[in-house]
Structure 1
Amino acid sequence: MRRICLTLPTNRACTGTISDIGAEAAYAAEQFGVEVRLLILDSSDQSTFTEHAKAVGELPVLPNVIVHHLDEAAQRDFLRAVIDRSGAADPESLLELMLPDAVSYGACTNRAFLIAGALGCASIHRRDSDSGYQLLDGIPVFPIHQELLSLGRSGAEAADGVTENALDPVHGAKPVSMVGSSFIGELSVDVGEIRELDPAIYHEVVSLWAPPEWSREEIDGLVEESFVGGGTDPFIHDVSVLDVPDIWRIDMCNIGFDRELYERVPLPPATATIGSDYFLLHVVRHAPLPAVVHNRHIVNYYTPERRTGAGFLAYQLRFVKFLLSMLYFHPVYFALEAAGPALLDEEHHVRAAAIAGFARQTAGADRAENVRRLDVVDRCYRRLGGKYAEFADHLAPLRDRLLDEAQADIESFALLIDAWGPLVAASRAVGLELSPGADSDSDGALGR
């Protein structure tokens, strides 16, 4: 029986989401005959974890749905075992990249990748705790339906499961490595209030993530498309396109990857940086590998802590770090595009060493562009006034540190790519020893 991993990383209260994703797991098992490992990576505080554990306990017990609810202590124990077995030269530094103290969108997904390997899963399917499912005639519209139709099949084989096949036959023998969709609802990045306050400032700030080489028309197009997802139209019927993907229409809250992709290249482990978990979309786009983009959009919503007090400051800092990361990621994306088919070996596997090399080459980039980005944010936020001006005051003494961190993040990514193959192999071996999925009564342990 095919085994898959449906994963929910969270650091906030989300009992409703746990119930919803449990229903998606049940749907996958019942409709597709797969064994679903529902993996909840829980970094919330103890009281919230306890509430989540109660929600897990209330999920229906089904023969082919096994829930793994892991707190950070259980995740750390697993990672230590994996890192030790991998023979890493600097295990403590590697553990910090995999489980940092700060929020890391890439690191939490990398942990899911390794645990999926330990569980023997053929694919991983990620959802987020600040989103839900659309309804059609009162029935949830589960993205996993489209994901399981195509993931892991060759492009030629997957053609019969989509509504439109736009794939060049030259890619027909390659595996479908990614199936994704987007969201409806709020912007994916919480900057909508800036657009409401001053559209011109919104344009100037959002344009900071564009490559400096781009034309005015290209930058205007990027601002127009940024963070809007799948628009506002509700789901009516399935639309799915098999092709080298348009990654503008895919969000990480609504995505599935084949193991042949994520077991070769991890995500950047940058901390407190929005967008750091989207890297594999660019790999798929430029390799190029077949993917399916569909319209079973997730419903995105904001949590209140992002908009006031310390939560606002923390979120805006993550946005600024996203802008600064582009100094290093755009050259890597351009290098991926230039390499094209050379990114794959004869068996259509991604050449991870080449990507690590691209990351290292960009680490020495001139920081002048990032200094300019910080200057623009400072000026624009002060013009907005209020809490935005307060954030500018908060940001000012952090400038040098943030410039250093942006460079260190790309260097750490290269190091993690180097270590990734041994980590994946070790996770499989450790997984067999720990027997993930066996019954356990201990809080935060592998398996329910």
Structure 2
Amino acid sequence: MQRVCLALPTMRPCPETIVDLAEEAAYAVATFGAEVHLLVLDTTDDASFAKNADAVATLPATPGVHVHHLGNAQQREFFLRIAERSGSAHDPELLLDLMLPQGVAYGSCVNRLFLGAAALECTSVHLRNDDFEYQTQDGQKVYPIHSELLSIGKPAGQAAAGVTVSELDPADTEKPVMVVSGSFLGELNVDIGEIRELDPQVYHDLVRLWTPPAWSDEDRDAMVDLSFKGVGAEPFVTDESVIGVPDIWKVYMCNVALDHRAYEKLPLLPALDTLGCDYALLHALVHSKSAGVVHNRHIVNYYTPERKTGAGFVNYQLRYVKLLLSMLYLYPVYGAMWDAGSDLLDERYELKVEPILAMVRDTFDADRAGNEHCLDEVERSYRKLGGKYAELADVVAERRQRLLDEAQKDAELWAVLIEAWAPMAAAARTEGLYPAADGASR
């Protein structure tokens, strides 16, 4: 029996999403006979937590589905306990801050799910988010976990029987399927669509800033056209899936299943307020030529209103700015991964961590001139848009040095977490999700 973790990080009230995920979990039990642990890691305030807890409390009891809803205090206890028991040379309080920081950290929230899944002794984690909907067909929801459980963790040669197209190299049949992913429909997965409506050229210029500077103009412009768009409006009709080495443009971190032999090896970048830092593991798997499946059970992405105006608008747009700055440190790592290819895998086809750690350390002294130029262009573009974007440009100018310093510090802290990760994952599996005296979940 597969023991899997259907995982949701949230920082807002999302009772409807919790109900939807419980239904997806029940589907996985009924269809595949899996044991599903629905893990909700909730960093909301007390009032919002209560709304989510009410949703959990009213879920129907389903044999084979186990629901875990942890708030800030429970998460803090768990991650500090794991950090202390891991035996890492790093300060447990520092590791706790990297796992559960005071602020929005897309990589950290997924890292927490990874260790939660390890503590629950799951063999795979199936990631969703709190601002999505399922597609429907003939009134039935189209659950990604259907495609995921057909393949995740299986030898690729065996999993090939469950897909519609095989692009698998005959030499790779013994590789385990480490990643299964669909994409998304709906709004851009980075909330900058308003900029495109206001001024398509400014939109092009801002998106181009996140493309690799070493690429040709033609390739950079092609990347702009691809970025953040998912599959457009392509609706689900019938299952289509491809096994082989996935295309990085066809995997989406909010609609993905990962094998434990991947996420227990390499953590995501624990950067604060930085979009895109949760994709590092996917890059490692794709560039190392690990086996994966891409399917068409895409989810529907939408955005909640708090990021559209006022402080919510400024905070979200700064996360995009920090995405741009992070690439000075991430692109060299991704490029080195690409160059290493399958040499990043050991004899069991699992990621070698030491070479990746060396790649990350090599970026610490990167020349900041590229990021200085990036911020110049960001300010120019925002001022051209005027209004609230001109005010945003003032914020960027005011925080300029801080933003530059944080981008470098984020890379350094990623190296710290990579060093500590394997012992922390092992400690999570040994310790379990709950203190021994607390017993099991509901």
TM-score by length of 1: 0.97
Looking at structure 2, the residues matched to 135 and 342 of structure 1 have their Cα atoms a distance apart, in angstroms, of: 41
Q: Could you tell me which amino acid in structure 1 is paired with residue 44 of structure 2?
A: S
What is the percent sequence identity of the aligned residues?
55
2:78·2:434 contact (CA, 8 Å) conserved in 1? no
With over 3 angstroms needed to count, the CA separation of the structure-2 counterparts of 1:182 and 1:92, relative to structure 1, is same
1:242·1:290 contact (CA, 8 Å) conserved in 2? yes
Looking at structure 2, the residues matched to 235 and 303 of structure 1 have their Cα atoms a distance apart, in angstroms, of: 24
Q: Structure 1, residues 8-44: CA drift from partner, whole Å, max 9, x if none?
A: 1000121111111110011011111011000000011
2:247 aligned with 1:246: yes
2:97 aligned with 1:96: yes
Matches within 5 A, 1:291-370: 291-370=292-371
1:32 paired residue number: 32
Looking at structure 2, the residues matched to 318 and 294 of structure 1 have their Cα atoms a distance apart, in angstroms, of: 29
2:295 aligned with 1:275: no
Give the C-alpha shift of residue 415 in structure 1: 1.0
Query: Which runs of no fewer than 5 residues in structure 1 stay unpaired?
Result: 440-446
1:188·1:227 contact (CA, 8 Å) conserved in 2? yes
With over 3 angstroms needed to count, the CA separation of the structure-2 counterparts of 1:401 and 1:433, relative to structure 1, is closer
Matches within 5 A, 1:74-93: 74-89=74-89, 90-93=91-94
2:373 paired residue number: 372
Give the C-alpha shift of residue 88 in structure 1: 2.4
2:430 paired residue number: 429
Q: Structure 1, residues 62-118: CA drift from partner, whole Å, max 9, x if none?
A: 110000000011011001111111122311111111111011111111111111111
Q: Structure 1, residues 288-334: CA drift from partner, whole Å, max 9, x if none?
A: 10100011010100110111000000000000000000001000001
2:223 paired residue number: 222
Q: Could you tell me which amino acid in structure 1 is paired with residue 23 of structure 2?
A: A
Q: Could you tell me which amino acid in structure 1 is paired with residue 5 of structure 2?
A: C
Give the SS at the match of 1:407.
Answer: helix
1:399 paired residue number: 400
Give the C-alpha shift of residue 239 in structure 1: 0.7
2:106 paired residue number: 105
Q: Could you tell me which amino acid in structure 1 is paired with residue 225 of structure 2?
A: E
Q: Structure 1, residues 425-448: CA drift from partner, whole Å, max 9, x if none?
A: 111111187369945xxxxxxx22
Deviates more, 1:427-436 or 1:213-222: 427-436
2:145 paired residue number: 144
Looking at structure 1, the residues matched to 390 and 434 of structure 2 have their Cα atoms a distance apart, in angstroms, of: 54
Matches within 5 A, 1:253-272: 253-272=254-273
With over 3 angstroms needed to count, the CA separation of the structure-2 counterparts of 1:437 and 1:342, relative to structure 1, is farther
2:236 paired residue number: 235
Query: Which runs of no fewer than 5 residues in structure 2 stay unpaired?
Result: none
Q: Structure 1, residues 109-143: CA drift from partner, whole Å, max 9, x if none?
A: 11111111111000000000010101000100000
Give the SS at the match of 1:278.
Answer: helix
Looking at structure 2, the residues matched to 167 and 219 of structure 1 have their Cα atoms a distance apart, in angstroms, of: 29
Number of aligned positions between the proteins: 441
1:42 paired residue number: 42
2:162 aligned with 1:164: no
With over 3 angstroms needed to count, the CA separation of the structure-2 counterparts of 1:233 and 1:436, relative to structure 1, is farther
Looking at structure 2, the residues matched to 110 and 307 of structure 1 have their Cα atoms a distance apart, in angstroms, of: 27
Looking at structure 2, the residues matched to 437 and 67 of structure 1 have their Cα atoms a distance apart, in angstroms, of: 15
Looking at structure 1, the residues matched to 395 and 78 of structure 2 have their Cα atoms a distance apart, in angstroms, of: 37
Looking at structure 2, the residues matched to 51 and 437 of structure 1 have their Cα atoms a distance apart, in angstroms, of: 23
Looking at structure 1, the residues matched to 281 and 163 of structure 2 have their Cα atoms a distance apart, in angstroms, of: 22
Give the SS at the match of 1:241.
Answer: strand
2:116·2:433 contact (CA, 8 Å) conserved in 1? no
1:444 paired residue number: none
Give the C-alpha shift of residue 198 in structure 1: 0.7
2:72 paired residue number: 72
Looking at structure 1, the residues matched to 438 and 342 of structure 2 have their Cα atoms a distance apart, in angstroms, of: 38
2:414 paired residue number: 413
1:51 paired residue number: 51
With over 3 angstroms needed to count, the CA separation of the structure-2 counterparts of 1:397 and 1:237, relative to structure 1, is same
Give the C-alpha shift of residue 226 in structure 1: 0.3
2:127·2:253 contact (CA, 8 Å) conserved in 1? yes
Looking at structure 2, the residues matched to 220 and 435 of structure 1 have their Cα atoms a distance apart, in angstroms, of: 55
Looking at structure 2, the residues matched to 16 and 48 of structure 1 have their Cα atoms a distance apart, in angstroms, of: 13
1:196 paired residue number: 197
Give the SS at the match of 1:184.
Answer: strand
Give the SS at the match of 1:5.
Answer: strand
Looking at structure 2, the residues matched to 432 and 353 of structure 1 have their Cα atoms a distance apart, in angstroms, of: 28
Looking at structure 1, the residues matched to 101 and 121 of structure 2 have their Cα atoms a distance apart, in angstroms, of: 25
TM-score by length of 2: 0.98
Looking at structure 2, the residues matched to 192 and 153 of structure 1 have their Cα atoms a distance apart, in angstroms, of: 39
1:5·1:38 contact (CA, 8 Å) conserved in 2? yes
Give the SS at the match of 1:364.
Answer: coil
1:443 paired residue number: none
1:353·1:417 contact (CA, 8 Å) conserved in 2? no
1:442 paired residue number: none
1:3 paired residue number: 3
With over 3 angstroms needed to count, the CA separation of the structure-2 counterparts of 1:317 and 1:61, relative to structure 1, is same
2:2·2:123 contact (CA, 8 Å) conserved in 1? yes
Looking at structure 1, the residues matched to 130 and 186 of structure 2 have their Cα atoms a distance apart, in angstroms, of: 15
Looking at structure 1, the residues matched to 346 and 155 of structure 2 have their Cα atoms a distance apart, in angstroms, of: 16
Q: Structure 1, residues 355-403: CA drift from partner, whole Å, max 9, x if none?
A: 1110000111000000111000100000000110010111111010110
Give the SS at the match of 1:120.
Answer: coil
Give the SS at the match of 2:237.
Answer: coil
Q: Could you tell me which amino acid in structure 2 is paired with residue 33 of structure 1?
A: G
Looking at structure 2, the residues matched to 47 and 434 of structure 1 have their Cα atoms a distance apart, in angstroms, of: 25
Looking at structure 2, the residues matched to 255 and 291 of structure 1 have their Cα atoms a distance apart, in angstroms, of: 11
Looking at structure 1, the residues matched to 114 and 352 of structure 2 have their Cα atoms a distance apart, in angstroms, of: 18
1:21 paired residue number: 21
Give the C-alpha shift of residue 149 in structure 1: 0.2
Q: Could you tell me which amino acid in structure 1 is paired with residue 250 of structure 2?
A: R
2:277 aligned with 1:288: no
